[in-house]
Amino acid sequence: MNIDVPRHIVSLDKILPSEPLLMMGAGPVPIPHRVAQANSIVINHVGQTMSQIIEQVKDMSRYVFQTHSQHILGVAGPGSAAMEMAIVNLIEPSSTVVSICNGFFSSRLAEMAERINAQVERINVPDGQPVDLAVVAAYLEKHQPKTLTMVQGETSSTVYNGNIRQICNLARQYNTQVIVDAVCTLSTMPLKMDKWGVDAVITGGQKGLASIPGVSLVAFSTNAWERIESRPDRLHHWCLDAKLADKFWNKKSYHYTAPVSGILALHEALRLICHETLRVRFERHLRCSKALQAGIEALGLELFIPEEIRLNSVVGIVVPNGVDSATLLDNMRRRYRVEISGSFGPPIVRIGQMGEQSRSHNLFRTLHALGSSIKTMGVNVDVPGGVAKLESTLESFEQD
Ligand SMILES: *Cc1c(COP(=O)(O)O)cnc(C)c1O
């Protein structure tokens, strides 16, 4: 029996909206034109041209991660593949891990460790609360883990862990290596890998870096690399084996065919970050996110997380009583061509502030779309008041 040509297939232009939606959710984020252009090119995955590009990607990554480490590796895959690469290479089966869990992604790190049969001790932090350093110290003392995992920004609950440095200081006393997921935060707020003593930092393409999904990065410290090199066992994972990936990323040889177009896109995304400089980029993200938050509150809406531990890269907004969040998102899409995100659990919707999302013209459009859509759903929000507050807050930063 032959299988017939499917007759119902239509071309993409019939599926995609004629005008792209403004992507203001928790990722993927809009990509700059140069990144899109680079992503349209295919080159040989080995050879002179590729080597030069890889060297530059690593040099720029060292700046973005703030590390001198020689162990920057790319991975063909989502942010989760980079998470798994850090986990499976650094954590030996049956070794003990402490995982600080503030939501969906930090718990994913714990689950990945469990799946390779590590002994995982979770610190479950309730939404809206910071992780208590005394609790972390007690877990380290009690369990003497070889590894601790955490996120810098928990995209799902919109919590920010601002105490990576203190946690690394504690961990060092127990020879515990620290893995930090910086998928949504890297290049949007400070992360100093070497200075803070982080052993592995993970990022994806489609969030803080404002590249495409599907190519991700991991940076291992010298310490972490020593642990990887000295492991006696052979990894169950072939694609994610850091020693094999090192052949391509550092030894100009072959592991698997690298996602060349995606690496070119990443190169451009990193180059734009270097051009902007981290200092200016952090300021832009802070100003835009704070102004957006002020605008949302001036609409009369409530932010989900208290200011001290609120993530700026992804802002969580409490959905008002009587509003169905799926209908709200749908209204924003249909009427205003703005896409924001729903939730993985908490009663919130989420607006991203990563890369091109942190531009004032995108903020005005998104805040207006949010306010107007909620208003048409019967909840009285102050749209002009919100927009005015957004403007005045943006201006107040400019005068600083
Ligand atoms: C999105 C995200 C991930 C997972 O990235 P994928 O590319 O979806 O696999 C991991 N951690 C954080 C903090 C994220 O925001």
Atom of ligand 1 nearest to the CA of 81: 9
pLDDT of residue 288: 98
Domain limit, last residue, from 275, 309, 340: 275
- Going by pLDDT thresholds of 50, 70 and 90, the confidence category of residue 345 is confident
| Atom 12 (ligand 1) nearest CA | 183
Last residue of a domain, one of 260, 275, 290: 275
Per residue in 26-46, pLDDT (tens digit) is 999 999 999 999 999 999 999
49 alpha carbon – ligand 1 mean position (Å): 30
Residue 241: CB within 6 Å of ligand 1? Answer: no
Identify the pLDDT of residue 399.
64
Output helix, strand, coil percentages for the chain, rounded to the nearest 5. Answer: 45, 15, 40
Pairing of strands 22-23, 153-154: unpaired
CA distances from 370 to 170, 248, 293, 304, 382 (A): 42, 46, 12, 16, 11
Cis peptide before 28 (omega within 30 of 0): yes
Query: From residue 295, how far is each of 7, 320, 385 by CA, in Å?
Result: 49, 16, 8
Is 253 found in the same domain as 134?
Answer: yes
Cβ(184) to ligand 1 under 6 A?
yes
Judge if 139 and 266 occupy the same domain.
yes
Domain residues for the domain of 332 are: 278-399
Looking at 253, 275, 297, which one is the last position of a domain? 275
The pLDDT tens digits of the residues spanning 140-175 come to 999 999 999 999 999 999 999 999 999 999 999 999
- Determine the pLDDT at residue 132: 96
Sequence letter at residue 122: R
Both 158 and 270 in a single domain? yes
Mark whether 348 and 223 lie in a shared domain: no
CB 281 within 8 A of CB 188: yes
Q: How far apart are CA 98 and CA 12, in angstroms?
A: 46
CA-to-CA separations, 144 to 94, 121, 136, 219, 231, in angstroms, rounded: 13, 11, 11, 24, 19
pLDDT confidence of residue 398? 73
Q: How many CB atoms lie within 10 A of CB 111?
A: 13
Question: Does residue 205 have its Cβ closer than 6 Å to ligand 1?
Answer: no
Share of the chain above pLDDT 70, in %: 100
- Average per-residue pLDDT for the chain: 97
**pLDDT tens string 238-256:** 999 999 999 999 999 999 9
Whether 189 is in a domain gets the answer: yes
- Token pair for residue 118? 């590590």
Query: What's the pLDDT at 127?
Result: 85
Among 104, 155, 215, say which to mutate for ligand 1: greatest number of ligand atoms within 8 Å of CB: 155
C-beta 209 within 6 A of ligand 1: no
pLDDT > 90 in the chain, percent:
96
Domain count, the chain: 2
Residue in 23, 75, 150, 184 to alter for ligand 1 test, most ligand atoms within 8 A of Cβ:
184
CATH number, domain with residue 239: 3.40.640.10
Using one digit for the tens of pLDDT, what is the confidence trace for 193-202?
999 999 999 9
Average the pLDDT over each of 57-61, 107-111, 151-155, 345-349 and give the range with the smallest value: 345-349
Question: Is the per-residue pLDDT at 400 higher than 60?
Answer: no
Q: Which of 85, 161, 183, 314, when mutated, tests ligand 1's pocket best, judged by the most ligand atoms within 8 Å of its CB? A: 183
* Domain CATH for 349: 3.90.1150.10
